[in-house]
Amino acid sequence: AEHQHARYNPLRDDWVLVSAHRVKRPWQGQVEKPPPEDVPRWDPNNPLCPGATRANGEVNPQYEGTFVFPNDFPALQPDAPEPGDSDHPLFRAAAARGVCKVMCFHPWSDLTLPLMSLVEIRAVIDAWAELAAELGASYPWVQIFENKGAMMGCSNPHPHCQVWASSFLPNEACLEDRTQRQHLSKHGVPMLLEYAEQEAIRKERLVVENADWLVVVPYWATWPYQTLLLPRRHVCHLQDLRDSERDSLASIMQRLLIKYDNLFEISFPYSMGWHGAPTGPYLKEDCGHWQLHAHYYPPLLRSATVRKFMVGYEMLAQAQRDLTPEQAAERLRSLPEVHYK
């Protein structure tokens, strides 16, 4: 807790430098604006609201629950042409095709997941699972992710996420596929299943838990209040979750996100996403080395207005954090589970 040291991340096969004493240094750098508290519940000029007109001229239905539609500015398209042949191994290109969708969580713009009911969060989980199964029938990778807050690049305050399905395995998926496969081969048990069992016993990095799930600040966390959401049962895909596991997932997500908001009493920014076994052609293969999990990467470090910057040493050498994962977990664990609002 007092002396710098490096910790190994077996999921990414890399290291993070832990320098807990640095959080005491004075700060005269960038100060962020807190997120707005006066978001209108409905705005006809907000393209994600029910009944609003989007950039492509389409009018949203008067939806009352979740709403999924094709991204009007997709990073991946299904009919992209093949790149030309390379004339040198240092100048390679490959085909990249896919589809991008947007999913609104709720018709109200002033709600976020921690302020939604368990029934409403469960509807989001069911929609995630349905999209994962639908797109995963043909695409090797389906990435569900939420960027929450302007600090994480979110351009619209309406509660929503994105789902990108790609014709290839992205870098992080390839890395986690390799490390989890190697762990199962060497130790005979899926890495994150064993890890969850160990964290449930040790408890020093545990934030919240229930019968089916646990949330920890991982031993190798990079971001200050980064968390990892893990099932207790071996499960490879979001769509494989039992009905009861989806209910308990809604509950533990709500508890975690309330704690996040309560930490600095703001709508807490983060990027989160689900990782599960590859799909499409990989559905015919044995992917038992995989374990479903969700990553939460929040940027805030000291307060609602001071964030952790991943620059300098982090970009040129390796990741570095300014408080121990155990300190972060203890602070989150001690927060109330009733929202400050």
Q: Cα(249)–Cα(116) distance, rounded to whole angstroms?
A: 14
- The answer to whether position 26 is within a domain reads no
- The answer to whether position 30 is within a domain reads no
Look over the chain and give the mean of its residue pLDDT values, rounded to a whole number: 94
CA angle 328/331/332 to nearest 5° reads 85
For the chain, give the number of residues: 341
Summarize the confidence of residues 74-96 as an average pLDDT. Answer: 94
Residue type, position 127, single letter:
A
| pLDDT of amino acid 22 | 66
Q: 174 pLDDT band (50/70/90 cuts)?
A: very high
- The answer to whether position 55 is within a domain reads yes
Domain tally, the chain: 1
**Three-state secondary-structure class, residue 167:** coil
**Three-state secondary-structure class, residue 242:** coil
**How is residue 8 annotated by DSSP?**
E
Q: Cα(259)–Cα(314) distance, rounded to whole angstroms?
A: 27
In the predicted model, is pLDDT for residue 221 greater than 80? yes
Candidates 165, 144, 145; CA nearest to 78 is 165
Q: Cα(304)–Cα(141) distance, rounded to whole angstroms?
A: 34
Binding site residue list for UDP-alpha-D-glucose: 22-25, 55, 71-72, 147, 153-155, 162, 308-309, 313-314, 320
- The answer to whether position 120 is within a domain reads yes
Q: Cα(41)–Cα(235) distance, rounded to whole angstroms?
A: 37
- The answer to whether position 33 is within a domain reads no
**How is residue 84 annotated by DSSP?**
P
In the predicted model, is pLDDT for residue 26 greater than 60? no
In the predicted model, is pLDDT for residue 319 greater than 90? yes
Range of the domain at 217: 40-81+93-334
Binding site residue list for Fe cation: 176, 275, 293, 295
- The answer to whether position 166 is within a domain reads yes
In the predicted model, is pLDDT for residue 23 greater than 80? no
Tens-digit pLDDT profile for residues 181-197: 999 999 999 999 999 99
Q: 91 pLDDT band (50/70/90 cuts)?
A: very high
Residue numbers annotated as active site: 160
| pLDDT of amino acid 38 | 83
Give this prediction's pTM: 0.95
Judged by average pLDDT, the poorest of 112-116, 233-237, 300-304 is: 300-304
Dihedral angle over CA of 321, 326, 327, 328, nearest 10 = 70
Q: Cα(216)–Cα(232) distance, rounded to whole angstroms?
A: 12
- The answer to whether position 34 is within a domain reads no
| pLDDT of amino acid 35 | 75
Candidates 276, 289, 292; CA nearest to 173 is 276
Binding site residue list: 22-25, 55, 71-72, 147, 153-155, 162, 176, 275, 293, 295, 308-309, 313-314, 320
Q: Cα(65)–Cα(63) distance, rounded to whole angstroms?
A: 6
| pLDDT of amino acid 104 | 98
Q: 44 pLDDT band (50/70/90 cuts)?
A: very high
Dihedral angle over CA of 135, 136, 141, 144, nearest 10 = 60
In the predicted model, is pLDDT for residue 144 greater than 70? yes
Structure tokens at 126: 């069911």
Q: What is the CATH number of the domain that holds 157?
A: 3.30.428.10
Block residue for tokens 């789902």: 163
> How many Cα atoms are found within 13 Å in the side-chain-facing hemisphere of 191?
20
- The answer to whether position 115 is within a domain reads yes
Q: H helices of the chain, where?
A: 118-136, 171-187, 191-202, 243-264, 313-316, 325-333
| pLDDT of amino acid 154 | 85
Summarize the confidence of residues 198-212 as an average pLDDT. Answer: 98
Q: Cα(100)–Cα(75) distance, rounded to whole angstroms?
A: 7
In the predicted model, is pLDDT for residue 102 greater than 60? yes
